């Protein structure tokens, strides 16, 4: 029975992924979604996000929006921009930004940035802005992976040096203990 429950859970999780698929769009549709996504990134994020995203090709998937509000199950495009992880400077997550755009209205609803944070209900935020509330742009916080790799290399070298030192100390103690036992055995044998 338990096996069947686990199998059913795996199948259900897999079905959620199967619903998300990269879509074939006309050049005009792709440009429209790209243009809207880049405008959202520029409006709600600091310049660094926009500068990185405009250099990359977008990945557009069609999926069902998952949430616990009235939008759960609504069809949306997720327009994502990914950074080259081989570069020395990047972001905490593999994407620069992801923008959720409703399929039926072509209205942007949410944006998620590569620092792990984002904004939902963008239409409400724009209404609030018209009412005088200021939109705070998401801070651009790049990660210097080259410096991190160098730091980790140094930490690993130091840990390896300390480990070798402990092994050498342990071997030296064992050698001295063995010599002391041999000396005591030798004294006993002479008596």
Query: Would the pTM count as exceeding 0.75?
Result: no
Please tell me the distance from the alpha carbon of residue 180 to that of residue 53, in angstroms, as a whole number. 70
Length, in residues, of the chain? 191
pLDDT tens digits, 36-76: 999 999 999 999 999 999 999 999 999 988 877 787 888 99
Angle made by CA atoms 147, 150, 153, in degrees to the nearest 5: 150
Q: Are 113 and 125 in contact (CB under 8 A)?
A: no
> Could you tell me which residue, 115 or 19, shows the higher pLDDT?
115
If one compares 167 and 12, the residue with the highest pLDDT of the two is 167
Give the integer Cα–Cα distance in Å for 35 and 20: 22
Order of all β-strands in the sheet with 75-82 = 21-22, 59-64, 75-82, 95-102, 108-113, 118-119
């Amino acid at each position: 029975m338990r096996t069947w429950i686990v199998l059913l859970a795996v199948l259900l999780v897999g079905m959620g992924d199967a619903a998300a698929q990269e879509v074939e769009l006309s050049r005009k549709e792709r440009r429209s979604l790209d243009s809207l996504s880049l405008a959202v990134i520029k409006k709600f994020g600091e310049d660094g996000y926009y500068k990185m995203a405009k250099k990359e090709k977008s990945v557009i998937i069609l999926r069902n929006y998952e949430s616990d509000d009235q939008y759960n199950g609504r069809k949306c495009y997720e327009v994502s921009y990914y950074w080259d992880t081989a570069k020395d400077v990047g972001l905490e997550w593999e994407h620069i930004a992801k923008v959720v755009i409703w399929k039926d209205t072509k209205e942007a609803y949410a944006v998620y940035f590569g620092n792990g944070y984002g904004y939902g209900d963008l239409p409400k935020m724009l209404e609030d802005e018209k009412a005088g509330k200021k939109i705070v742009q998401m801070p651009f916080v790049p990660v210097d992976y080259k410096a991190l790799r160098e730091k980790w290399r140094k930490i690993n070298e130091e840990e390896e040096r300390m480990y070798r030192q402990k092994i050498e100390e342990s071997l030296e103690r064992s050698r001295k203990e063995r010599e002391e036992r041999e000396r005591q055995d030798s004294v006993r044998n002479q008596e």
